[in-house]
Structure 1
Amino acid sequence: MKKWIIALAAIALAGCGEEPPKTLNEISKSVVEVSTLKLESAEALVFGLKPDFGYDNSTYFFMATEEANRILPKLVKYFPDQKPSQVVFTLNSTLVDKFGNESKAPVIQLAFNMADIQKINYEKGQFTSWDLLGLSNIEFLHPAGASIVRDYCAGENNAQYAATFCRRFI
């Protein structure tokens, strides 16, 4: 009898995993919007991420790239019908104007080729956000975006482990 109870408990616990997202908006709590951008011969899937919430620049960028690295394998696994040529993450930040007024605005876009993302072996769990940045194309939507990346790359670990990415900004 004890063995049956243990077996049933193990089965019940095994079933208590993360439920697969039903929509792209449910792929992460950090996603505030998902849109599709059609270019001439390409299509981009754009994820808008939550603002920085008062973190310093380096921490915010690190957390945003970690989140991108959690979202991408879910995109490949749970939404195989999505075939954009690019996946783009828009990072929003809190900006303060010269009068002290705060606003939230997009400051950085990180773009990845979907063909590259599909090649990543996420099953091993060894592909880091630093590795992911090496595959990125970045666009600064506001001067604050460049400042965020400079602060990120000034960190010793980030400069070392994301060297391919950070060399572009030193």
Structure 2
Amino acid sequence: MITRVLSWAGLLLVAGGGAVLGGWITNKQDPVQFLSRKVLTPVVRPGDDVKIELDNYRVLRCPQTTYRIINKPDGERSVQTDDKPAAFGKIGRDKYIASVPTPSSTPFGKATIYSYTVRMCNPWEWLFPVQYAEPWLDEFEFGPETRRISPEQAKNSLTR
């Protein structure tokens, strides 16, 4: 009798664990939907921050990491990561300005920031982070002085 009960308990435990793991693996819900993205500093002095206005809609609070690669005018690349805790941002629509630091030893000229974000909404994704949304390519220029423009003047990086 004990063996039968333990066998059924083990079977239920394995089946339940498989169902939970399967749910984690097949999770397709992105925690954030990006609505618009605008570079507010089309010209940046090396060492200053690139300001990017982000307008998004958050449905879940999950830890996430944004990877950014700054392609400098001389062909070099500068890689950065931006870790955000689960409590970052409010649920619903959220509009804010992100600051992306730039290397101070950069020659003047055209540059881009390639960005992508990975989410970690459950234990499976903690081990194997999932990239969500489309990667972004923001264009700007390194120059002698930083020039900031209003959001109305900036073009949306999400609609090319």
Instruction: Note whether the superposition's TM-score is higher than 0.5.
Output: no
User: TM-score if structure 1 supplies the norm length?
Assistant: 0.32
Structure number with higher strand proportion: 2
**Bigger CA radius of gyration:** 2
Give the TM-score normalised by structure 2. Answer: 0.33
Higher relative contact order (CA 8 A, sep 6+): 2
